Chains A and B, each alone.
Chain A
Amino acid sequence: AQKVTQAQTEISVVEKEDVTLDCVYETRDTTYYLFWYKQPPSGELVFLIRRNSFDEQNEISGRYSWNFQKSTSSFNFTITASQVVDSAVYFCALSEEGNAGNNRKLIWGLGTSLAVNP
């Protein structure tokens, strides 16, 4: 069965520390997509990244980087030199492929609450 596990419920760091948020997934699909979303205290869900199952290249976007490893079914997210504004709940999600390609539902992890303290 498809499943996303974010083992870290809460993480607290001091500003400027690097922090890695773990995501482990399970799927029987050979084609799938992985996502990270951020939910700041204001409540909205903000898309951060999408990665398809055929692209294992790591990605860097500013202070954010993602490490996708199919061998360990992991898609970890690292924030370098964390800032107070990074405080949020971060969700990892897995996309199933439907028959028509238009059917999709995300399987979400329970999220990791990151607190960055000054």
Chain B
Amino acid sequence: DSGVTQTPKHLITATGQRVTLRCSPRSGDLSVYWYQQSLDQGLQFLIHYYNGEERAKGNILERFSAQQFPDLHSELNLSSLELGDSALYFCASSVKGNSPLHFGNGTRLTVT
């Protein structure tokens, strides 16, 4: 058990809808990262938060947004969903910049 909790495990929704994925980092970890894993693109970095502040953005679409709250949990919001957004979304946390990432079990999103 990595100590990172992601909910829900599975999400099935229709195109055009909006969903929120939630992540609780390991106790003591200030950094939260979001990754998308799809069959054709592999693992893609989306965004990084550190202690509530956005620190780095990757290949995150404008339809996607995220935030990290004062209690350090993070949410990833995906809107105007398209079929191509179907993927496994991982949250990871770390103590500091180059510490190993500890991943949650992921949220599998299926857009129909």
Which residues of A does B touch, CB under 8 Å?
Answer: 33, 35, 37, 42-47, 50, 52, 91, 93, 95, 97-98, 100-111
Contacts and interface: CB of A to CB of B under 8 A. Distances in A.
A52 to B, nearest CB: 8
A103 B97 contact: yes
Interface in B75-98: 88, 90, 92, 96-98
B103 A104 contact: no
Q: Top 4 A-B pairs ranked by shortest CB distance?
A: A45-B103, A105-B45, A108-B43, A102-B97
What DSSP secondary structure best describes chain B's contact surface? Answer: strand
A93 B100 CA distance: 11
A113 to B, nearest CB: 12
Interface stretch (B16-24, B50-58, B66-74): B50-58
Contacts of B104: 44
